[in-house]
Amino acid sequence: MMGDDNRSEAWFGFQRVAAADKGSRVRQVFDSVAERYDLMNDLMSGGVHRLWKAALVDWLAPRGALRLLDMAGGTGDVALRVAAQAPQAAVVVADANARMLSVGRDRAINRGIIAGLEYLTCDAEALPLRARTFDAYTIAFGLRNVTRIDVALGEAHRVLKPGGRFLCLEFSRVVVPGLAQLYDAYSFRVLPEIGARVARDRAAYQYLVESIRRFPPQDELARLMTDAGFAQVSYRNLSGGIAAIHSGWRV
């Protein structure tokens, strides 16, 4: 499924598109839903996405003057949790979508959290950052939206210091018997309808559902991380594999 050698094309949901066009298509999706993104996440997951992000930050265990790159940081869920646990941390919240970053910046200001947060609009596959700069790199529900996962992983490895930690939270493959069929029915029938009614964009949430199904399963993503140079690669399933956190270290 994922081992496609045609580098001139990429999957946009279940569609094959020119690789050069995928980034702009993804940005259009998130431009459309930015203001309602957090509400939609709560409605779609029953608030469980917050528990998953808390688990990501708990596994990171931020402390001291940690320097973190939170890629696809969007509305700031992960960054604000890190700031709360490690007030001395310096977090660069990066996203390809400026509108999502604007929502996240406003959210942080409304909570009185300004110090320690920087915002950067950039592409995960071409980070405008020096090598060996960060102690940790997190990406939550963003890796499946890049055009080339292997390139994004290579960039993550490049900007981490030796001993730096990579953590990815992403939708994955259900491992509980019987749950997969229920999850598929909910995903393809209910989620686009919620998108149409609440975010007023059915197509955006149809894409998000399809992008989840196109994403590599747990073991394949672990292999891609190893190929990118990460060591001690492991993962934890969440909610029966609906989501998973992958961890790796730069040595």
4 is a domain residue: no
Neighbours of 185 (CB within 10 A): 10
* Pairwise CA distance, residues 153 & 248, whole Å: 11
Q: How far apart are CA 28 and CA 207, in angstroms?
A: 11
With contact defined as beta carbons under 8 Å apart, do 250 and 157 qualify? yes
Closest by CA to 29, choosing from 228, 248, 218, 205, is: 205
Task: Give the residue numbers spanning the domain of 122.
Answer: 9-249
- The answer to whether 33 touches 201, Cβ cutoff 8 Å, is yes
pTM of the model: 0.88
Q: What is the CATH classification number for the domain harbouring 138?
A: 3.40.50.150
Structural domain includes residue 3: no
Number of domains in the chain: 1
Are 233 and 222 in contact by the 8 Å Cβ rule? The answer is yes
- Residue 61: inside a domain, yes or no? yes
For residue 42, what pLDDT is reported? 80
Report yes or no on 117 lying in a domain: yes
Q: How much is the pLDDT for 2? A: 43
Check residue 177 and give its pLDDT. Answer: 86
pLDDT at 197: 80
Q: What is the pLDDT of residue 195?
A: 76
The mean pLDDT values, 10 residues at a time, for the chain of 251 residues are 62 81 81 74 83 97 98 93 96 95 94 94 97 98 94 98 98 91 86 78 81 93 98 97 97 96
